[in-house]
Chains A and B, each alone.
Chain A
Amino acid sequence: MNTMSRMSFLGDGLTWLREATITVLGAGGGGSHLAQQVAHLGVGRLPLVDFDPLEDHNVNRVVGAGYKDVGELKAALLARRFGDLGTRIIPVPHKAEAREARRWIEQSDVVFGAVDGARSRNNIEGFCRAALVPYIDIGLRIHVAEDETTVQAIGGQIVTSVPGGPCLWCAEVVTEEALLLDRQEYLAGRPEQQVVSLNGILASQAVSSMLSLMTGYAPDFPVPAVVRYDGLTHTMKPDPYVKGPCPHYPLDAAGWRTVLPPRVAAA
C-alpha cells in the first residue's frame, strides 16, 4: 500500500494532481478548509493568497489556527501548518485582486475563491475567465433577524465557473444589487455571520467538484455549474435553472484586450 492507494480511483488524475497548481484565494473561514483539503491531495503547488493577519475573532473558524498565532499572516501561518502534507504551499500575502495574486491565477490549473463580497468575486472571476482558468467559488450567508438571535435563512452555494459555462452573474451570486449591498455593508462595518461547520460543508463540496471536473473520475456525472446549500433543511442540490452558454463571458472574449467591449446585459 502506497501513500495514495486510497485515492487510486482517481487514476491518471493522481498524476494531474501532482503536477497541478491550485490557487486558493482567501485564508479565512472557507479558505482554510479549502487549503487544508487541497494540501492533503498532494498537489504540485498551492499558492495561498491572503493579506490579513490572524485576529482573535478569526480563530474559531480558521482551520489550523490557534490563539497563540494571533498577529501572524494567515497565509504564512497555514503554509506552515499544512506544509508537511506533500504539497508545496506558497503564501502570497496580497489581496486577491492584486497583481501578484493575478500572476498566480494565470499560472493555475484551478482557482478556488473564498472571499468576502460580490465585488471581489466579480473581479476574480473576470481574471479567471480571461485566463481560461476554471474558478470554483464558495459563499455562505446566514440571515439573522433584527433581534440578532433568530436565524431566518442559511444559504450557501458552490459555483463551478468554467470557460463558456454559467458564471457568477448567471448564478445571480453577483448582481448589481449585490455589488451595491457590498458597498453599504462595507461602509456600515457589519460583520458577516460565519461558523466553522458550514464553511467546511461548502469547502468539501467545492474540492469534490474540482476533483470530478479535473480528473474526470465519473464522466457520466458532470459537475453541476451551481450547487445550492440550505443550512436550515440540511440539503444540498444542483441548481437546474442555471445553464450555459454564458452571455457574459463569451469564449472568444477571453484574454487581454486593450479596448474592452461593453458588458453584455444579464440574460
Chain B
Amino acid sequence: MIEAVLRFVAWLFGPSRPQAAPPVAAEPARYRLRIPRSVIHELREVTRPNRQRPEPLAFLRVRFASEDSRTVVVAVGVLPFPDEAYVEGPAGANFSTEWAIEVANAGIPGNVGLMLTHSHGGVGMPMFSGVDARTNRSIMAALAVGAETSPFGAVVLSETDARCVLAVASGLTDTRVIVVPDRFGELRVSA
C-alpha cells in the first residue's frame, strides 16, 4: 500500500512519464479489450445514472490474455464503486485515490488490473471528456507504473458502444473494444 502511494507520488512529481508494461513486438500490434457480452451488460447496468448517483463509477477487472501479450486485454469481472469510495469534489463523480490504490494492490497478485469505467449514455461511439482524460492520465496511467503483470486503463460507455484507453509505455493508447458472444448472451441449448 505504502509502496503504491510512493509510486503514485513519484509519478506525479517525477521527471519521467509512466513506464507501463513493456510493448510486445508481435505482429500485429493492435490493442484490444475483449469483453464477454454478459460482462458489458453488467457494466452498463452498474454505471447507468440513477437517483443517488448521477455518474456511477465501476472498475472493470481485466488481465492480459497471456504472459507474452501486452496488446490483448480480457475482462474478467465488474467492481461497482461502493459508497465509501466516492468523495466530494468538483467533477461529476469524484473518488478516493487511496481506495483505488488499495483495490489495485489487491488485484496484482492475481494479475488483475483495472479499467475505470463510467457511462455517457446515449447511442453511438462515446468520447472521453477533458476531465475524463485528465483523470485517466493522472490516476489510471499512474496505477500502471511498475505493474507489469496487470493492465490499467479506462472505458467510457454508451448504450451501444464503448471506447477504451490502455496504459502503455508511451502513455494511454486507444484500444478496440470487442464484445464476445458468451454462454449467457447467446447460447441457449434446450433439451
Contacts of B189 in A (CB 8 A): 166, 222, 224-225, 238-240, 242-243
Number of residues on chain B facing chain A (CB within 8 A): 42
Given A131-B66, A131-B72, CB of A222 within 8 Å of CB of B188: yes
A63 CB within 8 Å of chain B: no
Secondary structure call for the A interface: loop
User: What are 11 inter-chain pairs, A to B, with CB distance below 8 A?
Assistant: A106-B71, A130-B65, A130-B66, A131-B65, A162-B180, A162-B181, A162-B182, A224-B187, A244-B183, A254-B63, A256-B64
> Binary interface profile of B, 17-42, with partner A (CB < 8 Å = 1, else 0)?
00000000011101010111011000
The answer to whether B39 and A107 touch across the interface, beta carbons within 8 angstroms, is: no
The answer to whether B65 and A222 touch across the interface, beta carbons within 8 angstroms, is: no
Residues of A105-144 whose CB lies within 8 A of B:
106-107, 109, 127, 130-134
- State the 9 A-B residue pairs at the shortest beta-carbon distance, nearest first: A255-B63, A164-B183, A165-B183, A131-B65, A244-B183, A132-B34, A240-B191, A163-B182, A164-B182
> Binary interface profile of A, 152-177, with partner B (CB < 8 Å = 1, else 0)?
00000000101111100000000000
Identify which of A53-61, A190-198, A228-236, A245-253 touches chain B. A245-253
Given A255-B63, A256-B63, A256-B66, CB of A162 within 8 Å of CB of B186: yes
The answer to whether B63 and A245 touch across the interface, beta carbons within 8 angstroms, is: no
The answer to whether B68 and A103 touch across the interface, beta carbons within 8 angstroms, is: yes
Contacts of A243 in B (CB 8 A): 189
A6 CB within 8 Å of chain B: no
> Binary interface profile of B, 57-79, with partner A (CB < 8 Å = 1, else 0)?
00001111111110111111100
When C-beta atoms are compared, the residue in chain B nearest to A255 turns out to be B63
Q: How far is the CB of A104 from chain B (nearest CB, A)?
A: 9
